[in-house]
Amino acid sequence: MLGLAASAVVPGVAEAAKPKKQFAIDPKFMPQLVDFPGGYPIGTVVVDPRNRFLYLVEGFGVARRYGVGVGRAGLAWSGKAEIARKAKWPSWTPTANMIKRQPDKYAKYSNGVPGGPGNPLGARALYLYRNGRDTYYRIHGTTEPWTIGTAVSNGCIRLVNDHVADLYERVPVGAAVVVL
C-alpha cells in the first residue's frame, strides 16, 4: 500500500473529530510515497514549510509525504529538533506569547483545554525538543482540516487528524526532525 487512500480513516479518530464544515483536500496533500533525494537517514521527519509538505524518510530516495498547514508569517520556526514526547488526544494550553498577541482569542484558554475532539492539537501531537528543551512547537492534528496547504498556525505543523494518527504510529520518540 502506497499510503492512506482518500477515504481511509484511522479507527476512533475520524469518528471522534468530525470537522465543523465540509472540505476537500487537494489530492497532492494526501499521504503518499514519493521520490525524496536529500540523504537524510531513514526515520527522519523533514518539513518543507514553503511547499506545505512533511516527509517521513522511509528508504534510500523514498519518503512518505503528508500535506501540512504551517505557521503564518513571522511565526514559523526552522531548524533541527527531535521528537521527545508523543501524546494521543493531548491537552493544550496557549503559550504566553499567543495570549499576549491575541488576548481576546487565547486568554480564556490560559488554564488549558483537555484532550478530545474539540482540542486545537487534534488527535495526536509530537513534541519537538532541541538540546533537551521544549521548543513549544508541535507536529499535531487539527480541528480545521481545511487549513492544510496554508500558512495560518501559530508556528506549529498541523496535519489532518487521520494523517497525524498515521504518522504517530510510524515515528518513534527520539526521531530527528528537520524544518527547512
The answer to whether 113 and 92 have CB atoms below 8 angstroms apart is yes
Give the phi and the psi of residue 104 in degrees, each rounded to 5: -65, -30
Out of 46, 98, 156, 175, the active site residue is: 156
3-state SS, residue 81: strand
Out of 86, 138, 140, 163, the active site residue is: 140
DSSP string, 77-114: --EEEEEEEEEES--B---HHHHHH-HHHHGGGTT-B-
Quick one: 150 exposed, middle or buried, by C-beta within 10 A (0-12, 13-18, 19+)? middle
Quick one: 58 exposed, middle or buried, by C-beta within 10 A (0-12, 13-18, 19+)? middle
46 among known catalytic residues: no
C-alpha cell at 65: 509525504
140 among known catalytic residues: yes
Instruction: Supply the residues annotated as catalytic.
Output: 140, 156
